[in-house]
Homo-oligomer: A and B are copies of this chain.
Amino acid sequence: MPSLKEAKRVVDEAFDSGKLAVLVGRCKVAYEGRAASKLSEGDRLLVIKPDGTFLVHQNKGMAAINYQGPGTAVSTKLDDTELVLTAENTRPKIKEKIEVRFYEVYSAESFALKDDSELKVFGSERELAELLMQDLHLIEKGLVPLKQESEVRRGTIDILAEDLRKRLVIIEVKRRTAGLDAVTQLARYVDELSKRKDRQTRGILCAPEVTPNALKMLEHEGLEFFKLDYKIENPSAKIMGLQKKQKMLQEF
């Protein structure tokens, strides 16, 4: 078990030489910045990355209990009974600070990590929109794609298209259950474009599911919902089908 002094040396040396530092020990944590927080004594895992990322993890839960992003400056101060680590982020607007007071350190190590790889993700909303863009007939015959990721004043339209009657069709794609937020988003776009272009405009929400409230609001706003079935395959995703679910409900 390293002494506090040894732990301090590990952290200092790691930060100086661009290494990852990993500490485990008993500590208190205090944060002050955009909000403030206190965490009383307990055993935690501390990770300090070469880019300044500073993470305090408890022994449960995914999210770090306290954290600081890249660009943080870490300083160490040794006392008789405490090792105090201070992570300070002094960006133009936001001033933030974490203070970790270690009373005992069970492990302190540092590592030079070599890693140039970047994560590749499949099945993002953008990818689904790209696929759908090329298969608009799944929604409706004669639907013609105009533009993907079309920037309007109040956001970004996933897919802009035109139907057989030359009406504008705004399509919002969601990769998971669509809620009220998805509907308000779509409604905003339809509102903006129907005014600006002075042209009949339809709005279509495509998602694997929709919450009952969202569907109600959708119908109330005169918008449409299509159930989007997709499968994640390895180098890419694949659209399995697209079904208008609204009429079925209205049949009752």
Contact = CB atoms under 8 A, between A and B. Distances in A.
A79 interface: no
B117 A41 contact: yes
A120 interface: yes
A118 B37 CA distance: 10
Contact of A37 (B107, B119, B181): B119
A51 B42 contact: no
A100 to B, nearest CB: 13
Q: Please state the number of chain copies in the assembly.
A: 2
Contacts of A70: 60-62
Interface string A127-166: 0000000000000000000000000011100000000000
Nearest to A106: B111
Nearest to A51: B60
Contact of A116 (B42, B107, B181): B42
Interface stretch (A2-10, A28-36, A197-205, A241-249): A28-36
A222 interface: no
Interface residues of A, number: 65
B120 A24 contact: no
A37 to B, nearest CB: 5
Contacts of A36: 121-123, 232-234
A39 B153 CA distance: 36
A59 interface: yes
Interface in A202-252: 213, 217, 232-234
A153 to B, nearest CB: 7
14 contacts: A20-B59, A35-B122, A36-B123, A37-B120, A38-B119, A42-B116, A42-B117, A43-B111, A44-B113, A45-B113, A49-B60, A49-B61, A51-B60, A59-B115
